[in-house]
């Protein structure tokens, strides 16, 4: 578990979020991960028509991107979900809960969009992380 980040689930006077923190801060190296979609290493869509399968692949791609920066999901401070239908959010949350510490969730936003860059894609997720300076605890 990351101890270089502080999570505030509900600041005074703000209703608690469901599965996210309203505020997360930390100190260290900032990492921005571009929006990831359900594409495999060859650029083929994984899980066409299946929001859960696509979300699991998206989180795998995010894991690989975070690892490239020496980070992991414990370092994520913000996730932004772009979905073609808000009905996909339960599947996205289920996939997210497989990889994050649900007691210390990142800040999050969800946006329904009319389309993603390929018509068979249902989910895109971008991430922001903060990696502590120096050796990891």
Domain limits, the chain: 5-131
Angle at 104 between CA 99 and CA 106, to 5 degrees: 70
Superfamily (CATH) of domain 5-131 = RutC-like (3.30.1330.40)
Span 45-99, pLDDT tens digits: 999 999 999 999 999 999 999 999 999 999 999 999 999 999 999 999 999 999 9
pTM here is 0.91
Are 58 and 52 a contacting pair, CB within 8 Å?
A: no
């Amino acid at each position: 578990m990351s101890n270089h980040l502080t999570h505030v689930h509900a600041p005074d006077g703000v209703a608690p979020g469901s599965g996210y923190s309203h505020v997360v801060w930390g100190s260290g190296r900032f990492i921005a991960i571009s929006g990831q979609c359900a594409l495999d290493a060859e650029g083929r869509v994984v899980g066409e028509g299946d929001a859960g399968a696509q979300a699991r692949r998206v989180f795998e791609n995010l894991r690989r991107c975070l690892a490239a920066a020496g980070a992991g999901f414990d370092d994520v401070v913000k996730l932004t979900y772009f979905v073609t239908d808000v009905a996909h959010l339960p599947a996205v949350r289920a996939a997210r809960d497989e990889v994050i510490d649900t007691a210390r969730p990142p800040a999050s936003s969800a946006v329904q969009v009319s389309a993603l860059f390929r018509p068979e894609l249902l989910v895109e997720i971008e991430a922001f992380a903060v990696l502590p300076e120096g050796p990891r605890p």
